[in-house]
Structure 1
Amino acid sequence: MNTTVPKNLVMLARMLERADRSAAAVDAQQYRDVVEHLSEALQSGLPASMLEAVLQASPATSELYENLQYRHAGLCRSPLEPALEAELSARAAIDAARRSAFQPKH
């Protein structure tokens, strides 16, 4: 394996994390370039322990990895409990809005 891949992966993960957290506008083409190169690095057959360490350290990279794997694994890295709670809350809010929309106004 090419020994520069892990260094590049870490560097790209840090760049994506900074871009995602930036309060200033980020150049769209630079962002796409970082995502493209990071996507290639994530799909380069890294050892599982190295990949897991990078994904744990970088939420933005973890989300990108999950998106890349979605076709095969769904939301494999997202905690199920918060997603379920968010869906239930959204349904309750929608139901409440529907009920109030159909109540006669006095």
Structure 2
Amino acid sequence: MKTLQAPTRSAAVLAQLLERLDASKQPVDAHQYRTVAARLADMLADADTDWQPLLQQSPAAAALYENLHYADAGLCRSPLDAAMRAEMSARDAIEAARRRPASPDTAADAASAG
């Protein structure tokens, strides 16, 4: 059995930077974002590293890891329950909107558009 290495400090710093870029309220330079993501992706390709602790701390790194390994594992890190609840909520909202009678303004807009 092979013992996996811990992620390097560089990988942790890149994951933190990617988190900050993702959460930025200001526009982010696309080249900078791609560079950080590409460097982290190169590191995440190392199969001799136990990435789980880093992926648990960094949703952005986890999403990148999942995308890199999608062909093998699909959406293995996505919380299925949360995705299913979101889909069911969306379905309920769509059904509620379909059942709601059209307001006079909406009906007039539809008639003038048609």
TM-score bracket, normalised by the shorter chain, equals: 0.7 to 0.9
From 13, 21, 24, give the equivalent of 1:11.
13
Matches within 5 A, 1:9-88: 9-48=11-50, 51-88=51-88
CA RMSD across the alignment: 2.1
Distance in 2 between the 1:72 and 1:101 partners?
47
TM-score, structure 2 as length reference: 0.74
Per the TM alignment, residue 47 of structure 1 is displaced from its structure 2 partner at its CA by 2.4
Gaps of 5+ in 1: none
Which one has the bigger helix percentage? 1
Match of 1:93 in 2: 93
Distance in 2 between the 1:34 and 1:47 partners?
19
SS in 2 for 1:12: helix
Same amino acid, percent of matched pairs: 48
Aligned residues: 98
In structure 2, give the amino acid aligned to 1:17. E
TM-score, structure 1 as length reference: 0.79
In structure 2, give the amino acid aligned to 1:95. E
Gaps of 5+ in 2: 108-114
Distance in 2 between the 1:7 and 1:84 partners?
35
Per the TM alignment, residue 33 of structure 1 is displaced from its structure 2 partner at its CA by 0.7
Per the TM alignment, residue 30 of structure 1 is displaced from its structure 2 partner at its CA by 0.4
In structure 1, give the amino acid aligned to 2:10. N
Regions of 4+ moved over 3 Å: none
